Amino acid sequence: MSATVPAPRITDPAAFGRVAVLLGGPGSEREVSLQSGQGVLDALRSRGVDAHAVDGVPALAEAIVAGRFDRVFNILHGGDGENGVVQGLLDAFGVPYTGSRVLGSALTMDKIRTKQVWLSLGLPTPRYRRITAGEDVHAAARELGLPVIVKPSKEGSSVGVSRVFADADLDAAVALAARYPGELLMEQMIEGDELTVGILDAGEGPRALPSIRIVPKGAWYDYEAKYVSDDTRYLCPGQDGDDEVRLGALAVEAFVAAGCSGWGRVDVMRDRATGALHLLEVNTAPGMTSHSLVPKAAAQLGMDYAALCWCVLESTLMPEAAAR
């Protein structure tokens, strides 16, 4: 994204009609989504938008069948909010919504298959093994080389993610990740900087916001560092000069390759020893809490939280929304 704030394309809040802010849901990220959703709701209302909270996909489905909403701001993290289910429902009823469509949502909900697409295009992502029932996890770890990361393929917010440095800790890490639905993966652990790149389409295609380098006080960016601790430092932009340009370009390429659109966030690790970038995942309904990253990146461009929400919502009124 150029270093300027995109001008609003819509100025009249009435143009949005009645807006559902989809939040909450039953998953492990419910609490975070409630906070994100409250922030979005307050921001849209402060700008005069007729916005209403709707908790979970079944409640939204009822409201859509009843014709109660003109469009949806989707801030339901994980589960049916981010996996293509609600996107398919809204497509079936012709109701516009923020963020990626069915394909990008469904693909990026699955970290394993997202990596397969990236690898097929030569995009860098940590080496990995899919862990299936009965798999010799010790052999897999030997193949990748310790340390490794074990994580569920379909969770978020670092839920169920473990860093494993010793073979003796592998079984516990796999048992933890296996508590969550879906498959598991084991990844080569990248030791170095944790970076994230917000992506926003303000009408000219997906563009990278300034990156953020996350410096947690503890060893890594776990749930506590994400949502509880005030000691995590966020440096924005996260890289200098050409490195920042390369990171932004890679994030946009990875986002588009995964079929994503509208807005989102791409998580990346930078290997300290080699400087190489490794793609971790795409978030299609990224956090919008007071600790969240996309709002921080937008602020670096001078775009405040309410302007960011407005810009994301605007995409539902654009002709390209129909073509996405």
Ligand X SMILES: Nc1ncnc2c1ncn2[C@@H]1O[C@H](COP(=O)(O)OP(=O)(O)O)[C@@H](O)[C@H]1O
Burial letters 28-57, b for 16+ CB under 10 A, else e: bbbebbbbbbbbbbebbbebebebebbbbb
Q: What contacts 179, CB < 8 A, 6 or more positions away?
A: 160
Least distance in angstroms from the C-beta of 205 to Mg ion = 24
Least distance in angstroms from the C-beta of 168 to ligand X = 20
Between CA 195 and CA 237 the distance in angstroms is 10
- Listed ranges 105-113, 210-218, 260-268, 309-317: which one lies at the site for Mg ion (CB under 5 A): 260-268
Burial letters 144-154, b for 16+ CB under 10 A, else e: beeebbbbbbb
Any catalytic annotation for residue 157?
yes
Any catalytic annotation for residue 162?
no
Assess contact for 210 and 196: CB atoms under 8 A.
Answer: no
Any catalytic annotation for residue 290?
no
Side-chain half-sphere of 202: how many Cα atoms within 13 Å? 20
Any catalytic annotation for residue 224?
no
Q: If binding is defined by CB under 6 A, does position 165 make contact with ligand X?
A: no
- Listed ranges 25-33, 125-133, 245-253, 261-269: which one lies at the site for Mg ion (CB under 5 A): 261-269
Between CA 301 and CA 143 the distance in angstroms is 43
Q: Looking at the DSSP assignment, which residues form a beta bridge with residue 310?
A: none
Per CB under 6 A, the list member of 17, 65, 220, 245 interacting with ligand X is: 220
Q: If binding is defined by CB under 5 A, does position 82 make contact with Mg ion?
A: no
Any catalytic annotation for residue 29?
yes
CA 197 to chain centre: 10
- Listed ranges 167-175, 248-256, 265-273, 303-311: which one lies at the site for Mg ion (CB under 5 A): 265-273
CA dihedral 196, 201, 202, 204 (to 10 degrees): 120
Q: Looking at the DSSP assignment, which residues form a beta bridge with residue 234?
A: 214
Side-chain half-sphere of 157: how many Cα atoms within 13 Å? 24
Q: How many residues bind Mg ion (CB under 5 A)?
A: 1
Least distance in angstroms from the C-beta of 281 to Mg ion = 5
Assess contact for 151 and 90: CB atoms under 8 A.
Answer: no
Any catalytic annotation for residue 267?
yes
Catalytic residue, candidates 74, 162, 283, 292:
283
Q: If binding is defined by CB under 6 A, does position 267 make contact with ligand X?
A: yes
29 versus 267: smaller Cβ distance to Mg ion: 267
Per CB under 5 A, the list member of 29, 155, 267, 314 interacting with Mg ion is: 267
Catalytic residue, candidates 25, 27, 28, 29:
29
Q: If binding is defined by CB under 6 A, does position 155 make contact with ligand X?
A: yes
Least distance in angstroms from the C-beta of 302 to Mg ion = 26
Least distance in angstroms from the C-beta of 165 to ligand X = 12
- Listed ranges 46-54, 82-90, 124-132, 259-267: which one lies at the site for Mg ion (CB under 5 A): 259-267
Any catalytic annotation for residue 70?
no
User: What pairing do the DSSP bridges indicate for beta strands 162-164 and 50-55?
Assistant: unpaired
Catalytic residue, candidates 28, 153, 157, 315:
157
| Residues designated as active site | 29, 157, 227, 265, 267, 281, 283, 287
Chain residues that interact with ligand X, rule: CB under 6 A = 126, 149, 151, 155-158, 161, 187, 189-190, 194, 220-221, 267, 269, 280-281
